[in-house]
Structure 1
């Protein structure tokens, strides 16, 4: 469970911004919404199940997802995927002389195995400057280890798994990642937590980050739920099947150029299996009387809409998160989806019925219908579940929540946002002069 995420001096984030999934002490005047959208960790802490981030184009919404995605990637791969001679592929805020050579900062606070951990690091392209892992217990915080460059201070009582591994840690790798490679119990569990978090760019139909994951879920016991999920969304699909074909030089068409043939075979050899998966959707076929007389098979990639393809590739990840209480960050959740379907996905996370394990959904969107209470008769999101990104005149992104505004709970969030009351909207120039000289 995610409690808080901070990022600074990365892409469009100049100053360190804080995103929180901690439920605020507010009464949304909708007892059902409050009950469904919040889950209790302990007497002092309650967390949100979903959060939406709004903002103008190029305001930094996608950079938030990239920031969390980079932190995940670096934690998991820095000890094995980076050579000692490699630069760290990090991009600081480039529009200020104050930050271009300063470390980029990342910090996450999360719950794991009935404990709360805080993990942070600061890096440049050359090295890890600072790295800290601490634990919060009974409102007291203590370090498990603290690192400044090559200087390590390890709490041998609480993190003895790190003893003796300081010299095995490269200047451009994280100590936590190294300790996990040597089977450190705490560090290994933390890496697994990061690995279970999914960060998805859903602006297109699908991307390679989650296509293969989705296909694996379809081969798991989740298959039945995935098919039912698609059917429940009224996409006129009767069933979904998957077939596999082996790739070899003999199975490729003879007309394919030799260089392309080599590239395809080389790519397939890099996989654990040389099989390619093909997904088919089944639709009912009718006669002139409107009676079902059979089924027709469609190829997902060739015959289905972009929205249907996106839903299929998202479905396994969404359902797996709900089943196991995982975190998902989705950029442009609403792209290519009908507003009612987007709302239904959010409602599944904001639900005690479907989300009993504390799964969390953070998504970037332009869909203001989700802010409306009049359109569907009730609110979908509390004020603390609504966040905004906005750039200042120097091109730096600020991140803030609607809960920071002193407004009545019955305010029209949607119309007030469109009118600019909360900022985070585009400033349109004077188009009257655009073709004045033509």
Structure 2
């Protein structure tokens, strides 16, 4: 489970900002909180991120994805290859400082704090600690001058000199099957960051779950509960036929696909709908090609349902940018409720999402500590803050405040400042 994530000097973030999923002592909606076994901490199942366009909320989620990508892709880099570096650009000092990512998370048995800092040419710092109650036990600490491996991290011995300046020590140790490094890497395997707008990339996960009878049953129960209009889904596999490629694909791309896909199978998803006569009696069934005949919202629900249910079944952490895009507010809330309820989330999975849908603030049964705002300072760097900590003129926000109305009125900040477009220059 994710406990908190910190970012510094990345895109719109300059000063260190931390997203915490630790539950505060407020009492509303206790079904949104679970007790994490390893740390005995109360954590939140769901976290929402609000903010104006260009406020940095997507950059917060992108930072999580960038940390994971660096960890998984880093060991494949050559010794002279630069590290993809995207620092804050609107400060004279930011170019002199490294980008920093740090994450605190719990596995089934342990609580780890792992982080690293880097510039374009090398990693200037890296560390791994285990948290035991209020104590922290280091496994290794890396600075520019070298790597110190502690006696509790025997799997890292003699690998310091094998670690390039542009390589992560944890990735190197994992190549030698160290048990601690493997446990950390395995946690990141269940930490997934996806885009709610360009959702077709996750279609394969849904297809895989629909091909398994047990997981298909869970998906179909969910779809039927949303009243999407179809009775069933099935995958139709046929030999690859270049004549069926979309006409808008450039010819050179189609030619290359014809070579690459020769002898392979193509899979398409189809939905089954009832056909009725004039008196409302069902007469037969009709097959729809999901991608071309179902709505864009239905396509998104189907595409995202794979990663969502995969996360629920494994007890991982799922991060979705623009969760509400193309979806009716009630459908968005239905997705959120999957993570809030113990019946559908018995393994304590977590959902973090960015959204503009303010209906969730009034209908989504969110606690004040589950609502995060992102806002730019006058120096154009992003800061994030929780509604539970926000102070109004009369004190902190109460649980009976109208969150949606007050947010739209700008009482919590994190909304665009739009000039009156009807006023002539």
Pick the TM interval, shorter chain.
over 0.9
Partner of residue 148, structure 2: 153
Contact 1:109–1:117 (Cα < 8 Å) also in 2? yes
Deviations 1:143-189 (A, max 9, x none): 10011135010012x21111111122121111111111111111112
The match for 1:53 is 49
List gaps (5 residues or longer) in structure 1. Answer: none
Q: CA deviation at 1:90?
A: 1.8
1:312 aligns with: 302
User: In structure 1, what is the equivalent of residue 203 of structure 2?
Assistant: 211
Separation in 2, partners of 1:387, 1:257: 43
What is the CA–CA distance in structure 2 between the aligned matches of 1:163 and 1:219, rounded to whole Å? 44
Question: What is the rounded CA distance, in whole Å, between the counterparts of 1:106 and 1:254 in structure 2?
Answer: 43
Separation in 2 of the partners of 1:317 and 1:125?
A: 32
C-alpha displacement of 1:252 = 7.3
Match of 2:7 in 1: 7
Residue matched to 1:292: 282
Checking the alignment, whether the CA contact within 8 Å between 1:201 and 1:207 is kept in structure 2 is: no
CA deviation string 1:56-99 (max 9, x = no partner): 0111111111100011111112112x222211112000111110
Match of 2:61 in 1: 65
**What is the Cα deviation at residue 277 of structure 1?**
1.8
2:311 to 318, 321, 324: 321
CA 1:249/1:363 → structure 2, altered by over 3 Å: closer, same or farther?
Answer: closer
Does the 8 A contact of 1:76 with 1:195 survive in 2? Answer: no
Distance in structure 2 (CA, Å) of the matches to 1:134 and 1:329 = 24
Query: Any residues of structure 2 matched to 1:82-93 within 5 Å, and which?
Result: 82-93=77-88
Structure 1 residues 136 and 151, CA gap change in structure 2 (3 angstroms): same
Q: CA deviation at 1:250?
A: 9.2
5+ residue gaps in structure 2?
391-395
Q: 1:394 aligns with which of 379, 384, 387?
A: 379
Q: Quote the Cα distance in structure 2 between the aligned partners of 1:56 and 1:288.
A: 49
Aligned length: 418
1:46: Cα distance to partner?
0.6
Instruction: Indicate the residue corresponding to 2:187 in structure 1.
Output: 193
Per-residue CA distance 1:267-292 (angstroms, 9 max, x = gap)? 548xxx93332111111111111111
Q: Which residue of 1 aligns with 2:221?
A: 228
What SS does structure 2 have at the residue aligned with 1:231? helix
Deviations 1:358-377 (A, max 9, x none): 100000011111111xxx5x
Whether 1:24 and 2:24 are equivalent positions in the alignment is: yes
Question: 1:214 and 1:125, CA in 2 relative to 1: closer, same or farther beyond 3 A?
Answer: farther
Question: Are the aligned partners of 1:334 and 1:366 in contact in 2 as well (CA < 8 Å)?
Answer: yes
1:171 aligned residue (165, 177, 184): 165
| Matched-pair contact (CA < 8 Å) for 1:8–1:17 | yes
2:158 and 2:33 map into 1 onto residues whose CA distance is 42
How far does the alpha carbon of each residue in 1:385-411 deviate from its partner, in whole angstroms, 9 at most, with x for none? Answer: 000000112210001101102122211
Cα 1:252–1:91 change in 2 (3 A) is closer
Give the whole-Å Cα distance in 2 for the aligned partners of 1:218 and 1:188: 30
TM-score by length of structure 2 reads 0.93
Output aligned runs, 1:19-418, within 5 Å. Answer: 19-28=19-28, 33-34=29-30, 36-42=31-37, 44-80=40-76, 82-149=77-144, 151-156=146-151, 158-204=152-198, 206-208=199-201, 210-220=202-212, 221-247=214-240, 259-265=252-258, 268=261, 274-372=264-362, 376=363, 380-405=365-390, 406-418=396-408
Distance 1:339 1:154, change over 3 A: same
1:125 aligned counterpart, secondary structure: coil
Cα deviations across residues 228-248 of structure 1 (Å, max 9, x unaligned)?
Answer: 211210011110011223337
Shift of 1:315: 0.8
Aligned-partner Cα distance in 2 for 1:388–1:412: 16
Native 8 Å contact 2:190 2:314 kept in 1: no
Provide the secondary structure at the position in 2 that maps to 1:223: helix
In the alignment, is the contact (CA less than 8 A) between 2:200 and 2:303 conserved in 1?
A: no
